[in-house]
Amino acid sequence: MKILGLFRHAKSDWHDPRARDFDRPLNERGRTGAAMMGRHIRDHGVAWNRVIASPAIRCAETIEIACQAAQRPIAINWDRRIYLASSATLADLLREQEGDPQAILMVGHNPGLEDLIFDLVPDDGSSPLRDVVEAKFPTAAFAVLELAIDRLSDLADRCGRLVHLTRPRDLDPELGPQRS
């Protein structure tokens, strides 16, 4: 069995209309959410053998703030292919990981991360948390999947079970959807 963690970047800043999408930083709410989720990911207790992340500014800031808050420096493998990738691209990236890590954490974007959950976790009622993801996999959400495979190269559709899902609002209601 393999463990796959998926961590969506935290809330980004849309105030500079000239900024390229890749260069958008986190806003204040995003920085707060990233720190809180970093502590939660640490407390969840999985020892991540490898962390791979999109180098987009909002992802880089998310994982760096999360690691600082968790007081756990982690070597991060930056991979531009994660930036706005499809589920198929993310799955291919996982299959080609050298050294076949037991537990891997991927930091990236939607819709790719959400679609990866839908592809890996069957819609058969065995993972009730899948319904929550169908409603929304918001910024800074963290999901953990158990994969019924021996090697990452064997990754295939419907090989996973969603065993954990936490959104920032689950830890602090103030970080839930903003009301107008």
Q: Where are the domains of the chain?
A: 2-11+22-171
Q: Which pLDDT score is estimated for 110?
A: 96
Interatomic CA distance for residues 67 and 71, integer angstroms: 6
**75 falls in which pLDDT band (50, 70, 90)?**
very high
**180 falls in which pLDDT band (50, 70, 90)?**
very low
DSSP label at residue 123: S
Mean pLDDT within 104-118: 98
In the beta sheet, which residues pair with residue 7?
A: 107, 142
**33 falls in which pLDDT band (50, 70, 90)?**
very high
The structure's pTM equals 0.95
- The pair of three-digit structure tokens given for residue 158, joined into one six-digit string: 């419907």
CATH of range 2-11+22-171; options 3.40.980.10, 3.90.550.10, 3.20.20.330, 3.40.50.1240: 3.40.50.1240
Sequence-distant (≥ 6) Cβ neighbours of residue 16 within 8 angstroms: 24
Mean pLDDT within 143-172: 96
